Structure 1
Amino acid sequence: MARRWMGGVVPYVGDTAKLGKLGKWAQTIGNAVDLAKRDPGFAQAVRPALQGVQDAIRAIPQGALDALSATARQHLARIGRQVDEVLGTSTRAPSFIPSRTAPTGAPGGTPLGRRAANEPNADPGFKRGIARENEAADILAGKGYRVEQNPVLTDADRAAHGIEPGKNPDYRIEGRIFDGYSPQTGSVGGVYAGIAAKVEKGQAHRIVLNLGDSPVRPGDIQQALRDHPVQGLQEVIVIDRSGGVHKTFPN
């Protein structure tokens, strides 16, 4: 029964004409994963069907993937993570799909690369931004993320990460390119707009958001991104005012 139940997901994931049902099937798979955690027998029975779901995601034509909305991408990412929980694999969904970056180093690390440097006659706002940029690198490295500041990117690197020519994002974190953003505004909409602008201008598709100077809460940003998906945004890691790290998007 488990195989028949979960097997019904495969044609929906693999048939791009039915991708509107991804939200429903993400919930179905989530329910199955919860049950599999409690029932080893069910986990074993449902494993072949989940493997089929994973294979179906990988087989979706590139043209169809490119045409997906941000919401559909989030659903695919969620399905991929849920399947991984049972299969014990790292995410194997197409690389464009948003996925969380996990730390692979030991806690207490330090960033590599070139520190962001202040200019002698810089205005206070510039100095504040530089300090927050370095602070974010220190906090993430301290949490076990492998961080390189101000990575040197070739044109090929930029193309591979979907970054516009001439752009120089702030970090390489676990092999992925991120740009830093340290707003002062107390407006959720203002912070959201800043994130969207970085993505739309091709600066980066992954953002480290340092809220050290903003009263906006990580959960508020998470809700805003959920309600109004930013096309092309792949990930947001938030650092709150206490130095806590939140994997805010995707969720």
Structure 2
Amino acid sequence: MMSVDGGVGGVGASASTRTSETPAESVASQLVRDNTVDGQLDTAGLAAGVRAQTEADPEFGASVIGELDAQLTPVERGQLAAALETANDNGPDRTELIADVAQIGLDIVGIVDPTGIADISNAAISVARGNWLDAAISVAGVLPLVGDAAKLGKLGGWAQTLSNAVDLAKVDAGFRAAVEPGLRQLADALDAAPLDMLPASARETLEGIRTKLDEVLDGGADAAARAANNLAGAGTRTGRVGNNSATWTLDAQGRPTRGQATLTELHDGTPRSSAEQRAQSATGRSGDPGDQGGHIIGHRFLPDQGTVNMFPQAGQFNNSAYRTMENEWASWIEAGGEVRVDVQLSGYNGARPSDVDVSYEVFNAQGEKVYSNFEMFENQAGQTFDRVSTADIRAMLNP
């Protein structure tokens, strides 16, 4: 047990050395002083001191943690919580990991949840598990900015915990089945979190966590999809939603090189599933900075087809020229036409194609071709598309 003036070197001292002259507040203050160097708090050293106090006298240790909560900044509290979480060298405990994953998900939900319900629920779980500092952080999280700042201090611990959980899920099918619901909930929370509003270092850490989750979630889903379609990298895959259908061609690396579709109806308003959102995020991250997970055949035509219908697409290209072209297809369909599309991707550099060539034909209700077009795009900003007006579309389909 560390005495008030014993510093870190006194961690092994007996708990009996503590007297009424060394209350929890004094011990907490001394721990902070002993572990502050050049104005920077050594949270790993502080965590070691806290653990020593708690092991020697759990009740007094809890009081010390409570006093530290009052003395530390929100970010320092989060960093201490992270250090306490990762200080156990006995290897990952499966039950604890599952609970940790669930609480990390609630932490992230709490960042965007204005009601504070997620933070209150998280605090209750922390109390039940005896994690008093985490409980305090979750309660603070009900107050905007204060608790969220503390959560950002826990990012390093989150990353390590999730890495342990994902690595174990890869080799232990039973653990994967138990932890996967929590991992998917966490992935959904990350997809909804306003990462752009966070500091760059925090955003990069959370994006790294999201990529780590893809290793066991999206990676497993893609492998299952390939097996279901008898694919080993190269091959084809088909999809149908309502009366719309498509065929995608994949190369030996599993990258889509062609998408052909027949479109006669719209599915506007169909929400993107969490799996589709994760696939889009992963696809965008696999390309250049600023890329998005662009659909080969728009989601409004063929909802939720996954990565086979996506490629890393320059954001400005996706949101301007390509979308304008899709808007024209939608207008043909709304006017009663059938659109047959052929998209070819080439010039791959890793996961990213450099060239997108699109041809399409439009047929009227009598099966007569009334219009055709061919466009050659580069996968970069500055692309343009001059669409056919709605009035001209109606005139061609109904002369």
**Given the two structures, how large is their TM-score scaled by the length of structure 2?**
0.25
Between 1 and 2, higher relative CO (CA 8 Å, sep ≥ 6) is seen in 1
Higher strand share: 2
Larger radius of gyration: 2
**Given the two structures, how large is their TM-score scaled by the length of structure 1?**
0.39
